[in-house]
Structure 1
Amino acid sequence: MMSPPDKPWLDNEAGPLLRPYSLTNGRTEPSAALSLQSLVRSTGRMSPERIEPVHARMLTMCRHATSVAEVAAHLKQPAVVTKVLLSDLIDWGAITTHAPAHAPRREQLEALLNGLQQL
Protein backbone atom coordinates (compact mmCIF):
# COMPACT_ATOMS: atom_id res chain seq x y z
CA MET A 1 0.00 0.00 0.00
CA MET A 2 1.51 3.32 -1.06
CA SER A 3 1.24 6.45 0.99
CA PRO A 4 0.05 9.64 -0.66
CA PRO A 5 2.81 11.94 -1.92
CA ASP A 6 3.98 14.56 0.51
CA LYS A 7 2.77 18.09 -0.05
CA PRO A 8 5.50 20.68 -0.47
CA TRP A 9 6.27 22.65 2.67
CA LEU A 10 5.40 26.31 2.48
CA ASP A 11 6.83 29.18 4.51
CA ASN A 12 7.04 28.34 8.22
CA GLU A 13 5.90 24.73 7.71
CA ALA A 14 9.42 23.82 6.60
CA GLY A 15 10.92 24.73 9.97
CA PRO A 16 14.19 26.54 10.56
CA LEU A 17 16.39 26.98 7.51
CA LEU A 18 19.64 26.61 9.47
CA ARG A 19 20.61 23.47 11.30
CA PRO A 20 21.49 23.93 14.98
CA TYR A 21 25.18 23.11 14.43
CA SER A 22 25.30 25.89 11.83
CA LEU A 23 24.02 28.41 14.33
CA THR A 24 26.63 27.42 16.92
CA ASN A 25 29.49 26.86 14.46
CA GLY A 26 29.65 23.25 15.63
CA ARG A 27 29.98 24.10 19.32
CA THR A 28 28.04 21.88 21.70
CA GLU A 29 29.09 23.26 25.09
CA PRO A 30 28.16 26.73 26.37
CA SER A 31 30.99 28.77 27.87
CA ALA A 32 28.72 29.95 30.73
CA ALA A 33 26.92 27.78 33.27
CA LEU A 34 23.23 28.21 32.45
CA SER A 35 20.21 26.24 33.62
CA LEU A 36 16.80 26.40 32.01
CA GLN A 37 15.65 28.56 34.92
CA SER A 38 18.56 31.03 34.65
CA LEU A 39 17.41 34.55 33.93
CA VAL A 40 19.18 36.59 31.26
CA ARG A 41 18.88 40.32 30.65
CA SER A 42 20.39 42.75 28.17
CA THR A 43 23.03 45.13 29.47
CA GLY A 44 22.41 47.70 26.74
CA ARG A 45 26.11 47.67 25.81
CA MET A 46 25.62 46.11 22.38
CA SER A 47 23.36 47.11 19.52
CA PRO A 48 21.32 44.34 17.85
CA GLU A 49 22.15 45.85 14.45
CA ARG A 50 25.83 44.96 14.86
CA ILE A 51 25.50 41.20 15.44
CA GLU A 52 24.15 38.12 13.68
CA PRO A 53 20.34 37.90 13.36
CA VAL A 54 19.85 35.04 15.83
CA HIS A 55 21.92 36.84 18.47
CA ALA A 56 20.01 40.05 17.73
CA ARG A 57 16.67 38.28 18.29
CA MET A 58 17.93 36.96 21.62
CA LEU A 59 19.18 40.37 22.66
CA THR A 60 15.81 41.92 21.83
CA MET A 61 13.99 39.20 23.83
CA CYS A 62 16.23 39.86 26.81
CA ARG A 63 15.32 43.52 27.29
CA HIS A 64 13.56 42.28 30.41
CA ALA A 65 14.72 39.35 32.53
CA THR A 66 13.82 36.20 30.60
CA SER A 67 14.50 32.55 31.39
CA VAL A 68 16.73 30.45 29.18
CA ALA A 69 13.78 28.08 28.62
CA GLU A 70 11.62 30.95 27.37
CA VAL A 71 14.30 32.15 24.96
CA ALA A 72 14.67 28.59 23.60
CA ALA A 73 10.90 28.29 23.14
CA HIS A 74 10.64 31.58 21.25
CA LEU A 75 13.56 30.67 19.00
CA LYS A 76 12.21 27.13 18.50
CA GLN A 77 15.71 25.79 19.15
CA PRO A 78 16.98 23.06 21.49
CA ALA A 79 18.03 24.27 24.93
CA VAL A 80 21.72 23.44 24.37
CA VAL A 81 21.80 25.54 21.18
CA THR A 82 20.18 28.41 23.03
CA LYS A 83 22.68 28.10 25.88
CA VAL A 84 25.64 28.21 23.47
CA LEU A 85 24.27 31.31 21.74
CA LEU A 86 23.42 33.02 25.04
CA SER A 87 26.96 32.24 26.20
CA ASP A 88 28.25 34.22 23.23
CA LEU A 89 26.22 37.22 24.37
CA ILE A 90 27.47 36.80 27.94
CA ASP A 91 31.09 36.61 26.72
CA TRP A 92 30.56 39.81 24.70
CA GLY A 93 29.10 41.61 27.72
CA ALA A 94 25.75 42.03 25.96
CA ILE A 95 23.69 40.18 28.60
CA THR A 96 23.99 39.27 32.24
CA THR A 97 22.68 36.16 33.94
CA HIS A 98 21.62 35.17 37.41
CA ALA A 99 19.89 32.24 39.03
CA PRO A 100 16.21 32.63 39.87
CA ALA A 101 15.40 34.01 43.32
CA HIS A 102 14.28 30.60 44.55
CA ALA A 103 14.03 27.12 43.16
CA PRO A 104 10.52 25.65 42.99
CA ARG A 105 9.62 23.26 45.77
CA ARG A 106 8.78 19.65 44.99
CA GLU A 107 5.13 20.22 45.95
CA GLN A 108 4.86 23.06 43.44
CA LEU A 109 6.32 20.95 40.66
CA GLU A 110 4.03 18.02 41.47
CA ALA A 111 0.97 20.32 41.48
CA LEU A 112 2.03 21.71 38.11
CA LEU A 113 2.54 18.23 36.68
CA ASN A 114 -0.86 17.07 37.98
CA GLY A 115 -2.52 20.12 36.44
CA LEU A 116 -0.88 19.52 33.10
CA GLN A 117 -1.84 15.85 33.10
CA GLN A 118 -5.48 16.82 33.73
CA LEU A 119 -5.48 18.99 30.62
Structure 2
Amino acid sequence: MTEQDGRSREAARWFDDEAGPVVRPYAMTRGRTRTAAEGRLDLIAQVIAESRAERAAEDRTLSPEHVEIVERCREAPLSVAELAAELDLPVGVVRVLIGDLLDADLVRVSRPVPPAELPDEQVLREVIDGLRAL
Protein backbone atom coordinates (compact mmCIF):
# COMPACT_ATOMS: atom_id res chain seq x y z
CA MET A 1 0.00 0.00 0.00
CA THR A 2 1.36 3.38 -0.99
CA GLU A 3 1.28 6.53 1.07
CA GLN A 4 -1.26 7.99 -1.39
CA ASP A 5 -3.65 5.05 -0.81
CA GLY A 6 -3.39 5.55 2.95
CA ARG A 7 -4.29 9.23 2.62
CA SER A 8 -7.27 8.54 0.34
CA ARG A 9 -8.64 5.95 2.79
CA GLU A 10 -8.19 8.43 5.64
CA ALA A 11 -10.02 11.11 3.64
CA ALA A 12 -12.83 8.69 2.77
CA ARG A 13 -13.38 8.02 6.46
CA TRP A 14 -14.16 11.73 7.00
CA PHE A 15 -16.46 12.09 4.00
CA ASP A 16 -19.94 10.73 3.41
CA ASP A 17 -21.09 10.77 -0.22
CA GLU A 18 -24.60 11.92 0.65
CA ALA A 19 -23.90 14.15 3.65
CA GLY A 20 -20.61 15.73 2.64
CA PRO A 21 -17.76 16.26 5.09
CA VAL A 22 -18.43 14.72 8.49
CA VAL A 23 -17.61 16.67 11.66
CA ARG A 24 -17.54 14.66 14.83
CA PRO A 25 -19.81 16.03 17.61
CA TYR A 26 -16.91 16.41 20.04
CA ALA A 27 -15.23 18.73 17.56
CA MET A 28 -18.20 21.10 17.75
CA THR A 29 -18.03 21.21 21.53
CA ARG A 30 -14.21 21.13 21.76
CA GLY A 31 -14.44 17.82 23.59
CA ARG A 32 -16.83 19.07 26.26
CA THR A 33 -19.77 16.89 27.25
CA ARG A 34 -21.26 19.01 30.03
CA THR A 35 -22.13 22.62 30.69
CA ALA A 36 -22.67 24.62 33.87
CA ALA A 37 -26.33 25.03 32.90
CA GLU A 38 -26.87 21.26 32.55
CA GLY A 39 -29.62 21.15 35.20
CA ARG A 40 -31.64 23.85 33.43
CA LEU A 41 -31.42 22.24 29.99
CA ASP A 42 -33.86 19.36 30.06
CA LEU A 43 -35.56 18.35 26.80
CA ILE A 44 -38.58 20.62 27.23
CA ALA A 45 -36.68 23.74 28.35
CA GLN A 46 -37.52 26.64 26.03
CA VAL A 47 -34.58 28.53 24.50
CA ILE A 48 -35.28 32.19 23.76
CA ALA A 49 -32.92 34.54 21.91
CA GLU A 50 -32.04 37.76 23.73
CA SER A 51 -32.41 41.08 21.93
CA ARG A 52 -28.63 41.54 21.78
CA ALA A 53 -28.40 38.31 19.75
CA GLU A 54 -29.35 40.17 16.57
CA ARG A 55 -25.68 40.47 15.64
CA ALA A 56 -24.72 36.89 16.48
CA ALA A 57 -23.84 36.14 12.85
CA GLU A 58 -21.16 38.85 12.99
CA ASP A 59 -19.51 37.34 16.09
CA ARG A 60 -16.45 35.45 14.86
CA THR A 61 -16.12 33.54 18.15
CA LEU A 62 -19.36 31.65 17.49
CA SER A 63 -19.52 28.49 15.41
CA PRO A 64 -22.08 28.11 12.62
CA GLU A 65 -24.10 25.85 14.95
CA HIS A 66 -24.20 28.56 17.63
CA VAL A 67 -25.42 31.10 15.09
CA GLU A 68 -28.03 28.66 13.77
CA ILE A 69 -29.42 28.10 17.27
CA VAL A 70 -29.69 31.85 17.88
CA GLU A 71 -31.34 32.45 14.50
CA ARG A 72 -33.93 29.71 15.02
CA CYS A 73 -34.74 30.95 18.53
CA ARG A 74 -35.15 34.54 17.31
CA GLU A 75 -38.09 33.43 15.19
CA ALA A 76 -39.81 31.62 18.08
CA PRO A 77 -38.78 29.95 21.34
CA LEU A 78 -37.80 26.33 20.78
CA SER A 79 -37.24 23.46 23.16
CA VAL A 80 -33.87 21.75 23.46
CA ALA A 81 -35.39 18.65 21.84
CA GLU A 82 -36.76 20.67 18.91
CA LEU A 83 -33.39 22.33 18.34
CA ALA A 84 -31.60 18.98 18.37
CA ALA A 85 -34.08 17.56 15.86
CA GLU A 86 -34.01 20.59 13.56
CA LEU A 87 -30.22 20.82 13.60
CA ASP A 88 -29.84 17.03 13.30
CA LEU A 89 -27.38 17.01 16.22
CA PRO A 90 -27.22 14.88 19.37
CA VAL A 91 -29.01 16.42 22.36
CA GLY A 92 -25.78 16.43 24.38
CA VAL A 93 -24.04 18.54 21.76
CA VAL A 94 -26.97 20.97 21.59
CA ARG A 95 -26.94 21.32 25.39
CA VAL A 96 -23.25 22.27 25.37
CA LEU A 97 -23.80 24.77 22.53
CA ILE A 98 -26.76 26.34 24.36
CA GLY A 99 -24.62 26.52 27.51
CA ASP A 100 -22.05 28.54 25.54
CA LEU A 101 -24.79 30.88 24.34
CA LEU A 102 -26.11 31.26 27.90
CA ASP A 103 -22.61 32.20 29.08
CA ALA A 104 -22.44 34.82 26.30
CA ASP A 105 -25.90 36.18 27.26
CA LEU A 106 -27.22 35.56 23.75
CA VAL A 107 -30.09 33.30 24.85
CA ARG A 108 -32.08 32.60 27.98
CA VAL A 109 -33.82 29.43 29.08
CA SER A 110 -37.35 29.18 30.39
CA ARG A 111 -38.59 25.99 31.94
CA PRO A 112 -42.30 25.26 31.67
CA VAL A 113 -44.19 24.95 34.93
CA PRO A 114 -44.78 21.27 35.73
CA PRO A 115 -48.49 20.35 35.67
CA ALA A 116 -48.31 19.30 39.32
CA GLU A 117 -47.43 22.89 40.29
CA LEU A 118 -50.26 24.51 38.34
CA PRO A 119 -53.29 25.54 40.36
CA ASP A 120 -56.30 23.27 40.17
CA GLU A 121 -58.95 24.49 37.71
CA GLN A 122 -61.70 24.06 40.30
CA VAL A 123 -59.85 26.32 42.77
CA LEU A 124 -59.48 29.00 40.09
CA ARG A 125 -63.20 28.82 39.27
CA GLU A 126 -64.07 29.23 42.96
CA VAL A 127 -61.78 32.29 43.21
CA ILE A 128 -63.39 33.85 40.12
CA ASP A 129 -66.87 33.15 41.47
CA GLY A 130 -65.89 34.65 44.82
CA LEU A 131 -64.57 37.80 43.15
CA ARG A 132 -67.74 38.15 41.10
CA ALA A 133 -69.81 37.85 44.28
CA LEU A 134 -68.06 40.90 45.73
Runs of 4+ deviating beyond 4 Å:
none
Counterpart CA distance in 2 for 1:74 and 1:17 is 17
Once the two structures are TM-superposed, the CA of residue 102 in structure 1 deviates from its matched residue by: 3.6
From 60, 65, 90, the equivalent of 1:54 is: 65
- Considering only CA atoms, is the larger Rg found in Structure 1 or Structure 2? 2
Question: Against the structure 1 CA distance between its residues 26 and 53, is the aligned structure 2 distance closer, same or farther, given a 3 Å change threshold?
Answer: same
Deviations 1:60-104 (A, max 9, x none): 011121100000001111111100000000110000001124459
Give 1 or 2: higher helix fraction. 2
Question: Against the structure 1 CA distance between its residues 81 and 9, is the aligned structure 2 distance closer, same or farther, given a 3 Å change threshold?
Answer: closer
Paired residues of 1:30 and 1:80 also in contact (CA < 8 A): no
One-letter identity of the residue aligned with 1:30: T
1:29 corresponds in structure 2 to: 34
TM-score (norm 1): 0.71
1:90 corresponds in structure 2 to: 102
Uncovered stretches (5+) of structure 1, i.e. residues with no partner? 1-7, 105-119
Aligned-residue RMSD, C-alpha: 2.1
- Secondary structure in 2 aligned to 1:77? coil
Question: Against the structure 1 CA distance between its residues 20 and 48, is the aligned structure 2 distance closer, same or farther, given a 3 Å change threshold?
Answer: same
% identical aligned pairs: 37
TM-score (norm 2): 0.64
Is 1:19 the counterpart of 2:24? The answer is: yes
- Secondary structure in 2 aligned to 1:36? coil
Uncovered stretches (5+) of structure 2, i.e. residues with no partner? 1-14, 117-134
Question: Against the structure 1 CA distance between its residues 16 and 80, is the aligned structure 2 distance closer, same or farther, given a 3 Å change threshold?
Answer: farther
Counterpart CA distance in 1 for 2:49 and 2:71 is 8
